Amino acid sequence: MLEENKQLFSEFISIHQKYLLSPRENQGEFNRVGARTISVIKQYENRLCGKSEKGIYANFSGKLAEKFWDLVRKKFPKIDFVGVKVIKTSVRKPKTFEFKKISFS
């Protein structure tokens, strides 16, 4: 997979390293290159597990797909963040909880 798509994965490795250092600045390019990369990875996952999911090896195929993605995540730890949009939000101070005093007079 990596050898057949050397140019794409070298570009993704480069932006992945930049994304690890500064996610907000590199989010757009990371999403753009990452979408193409995930498309290729899913094609290889389908080649590996696609036909056996419907047969008697469905349980094995699911576990194999999981192991495949674990290996992908080991090489690219932030791959699950492809497509995520980072939005700045302000942190509001939570309201304090108070009991009102009840008078029985």
Which tens digit of pLDDT belongs to each residue from 69-98? 898 899 999 888 888 877 777 777 777 777
Residue 74: per-residue pLDDT: 92
Rounded to the nearest 10 degrees, how much is the dihedral formed by the CA atoms of 11, 5, 78, 18?
-10
Residue 104: per-residue pLDDT: 74
Given a cut of 70, the residues of the chain with pLDDT beneath it are 52-58, 105
**Domain ranges across the chain:** 6-81
Helix (H, G, I), strand (E, B) or coil at 14: helix
Residue 53: per-residue pLDDT: 62
Residue 54: per-residue pLDDT: 66
Q: What is the DSSP string of 24-65?
A: HHHHHHHHHHHHHHHHHHHHHHHHHHTTTSSSTTHHHHHHHH
Q: Are 27 and 85 in contact, with CB atoms under 8 Å apart?
A: yes
Residue 11: per-residue pLDDT: 92
